[in-house]
Amino acid sequence: MADKSPLGEVRPREEKTGESDLNDQSDLNDQLIVSQIVSGQKELFRLLVRRHEKAVNGMGLSFFRNPEDASDFTQEVFLKAYRNLSRFEGRSRFSTWLYKIAYNTAINEVNRRKEYYSLAEEDIDKLTNSGDTPERAMLRNAAKEAVRAAIKDLPHRFMVCIDLFFFYDRSYQEIEAITGIPVNTIKSHVFRAKLLLKEKLDLLVD
């Protein structure tokens, strides 16, 4: 059982760790799942996949804009994470560690393709729950417009910083950990996006 693909449909050994006990969305439980996997319950990796695959696939769509390429990218990222899971030391959130793997995987491919698409150019509903109120939909559209303006003519490495801040809810420090870009550089680009967002919101209120 332990040799099966971590992305396969394998039931966890509930006598050791019940799935319901590990289905909470907290960072602590991510670390608990990782420790259980490293200790031998490798089939539990599918819980991490289930929890984070939507976000990783969304990053893939940003970089490649093709669902098939994004799916291949997602598979590759989780396989890399699985193979290197013992190197996760818990100094950051598991999602930050995972997004760093995803970013490095994607950026290597983008450097060959010379293209990146911001999530502001995608349908954000693909990454969020549908059924927003009109007010939330209006705010989301305003955010997308502000991000589009902020990333205009930016190199793709800075575009992804803005995406990580606005659409993946990463802190400046986490974005630095993921991308290797200095915090002050990240802040300057995010600050411009925030100013543009304020302008859009002011127009909506007037």
pTM of the predicted protein model? 0.67
Q: What is the mean pLDDT of residues 7-16?
A: 38
Q: Alpha-carbon distance 59 to 167, whole Å? A: 10
In the predicted structure, residue 195 carries a pLDDT above the cut 60 = yes
**Count of all residues that appear for the chain in the document:** 206
Lowest mean pLDDT among 31-40, 110-119, 180-189: 110-119
Tell whether the model's pLDDT for residue 13 goes beyond 50. Answer: no
Amino acid (1-letter code) at residue 40:
G
Closest C-alpha to 144, from 122, 168, 170, 129: 122
pLDDT digits (tens, 9 = 90+) for 152-191: 767 767 788 888 888 788 899 999 999 899 999 999 988 8
Quick check: 116 and 107 in contact, CB under 8 A? Answer: no
Segments making up each domain of the chain, as ranges: 52-205
Q: Residue 84 has which token pair?
A: 């290197």
